[in-house]
Amino acid sequence: MIIAAMAFRLHAAWVHSLKEKRTIVKSLIAQLQNRFHVSAAEIDEQDRHRIIVIGVAAIVPHNAMGDSLMNEISAFVEDNTEAEILDERREIR
């Protein structure tokens, strides 16, 4: 079993409350889960309203598919959010 995992750290400068942040996070997580059939969740910085940290994980049959999936997810996040991507971490186990 191979696990592909990613974490995105985003900065949403226009967000002024945790409620507004929660709306953005819920939408992005739902889109990731529906489009790529992965597990996704906010994993850190829940108390800071302008920083969003989302973790994504999937079980894949081989490393090449994991790399391909992570590339697609990365492009999707970049294209589907106005937030600036500060950091992206990838891991295949």
**pLDDT number for residue 49:** 87
What are the pLDDT digits (tens) for 67-85? Answer: 999 999 999 999 998 899 9
Q: Does this model's pTM top 0.95?
A: no
**pLDDT number for residue 67:** 95
Cα→Cα distances 16→21, 31, 48, 51, 83, Å: 8, 23, 10, 11, 13
Is 37 within 8 Å of 58 (Cβ atoms)? yes
48 contacts: CB under 8 Å, gap ≥ 6: none
Instruction: Please tell me the CATH code under which domain 2-92 is placed.
Output: 3.30.70.1120
**pLDDT number for residue 8:** 95
Is 5 within 8 Å of 27 (Cβ atoms)? no
1 is written with which tokens? 């079993």
| Domains of the chain, residue spans | 2-92
What are the pLDDT digits (tens) for 16-67? Answer: 999 999 999 999 999 999 999 999 999 998 889 899 999 999 999 999 999 9
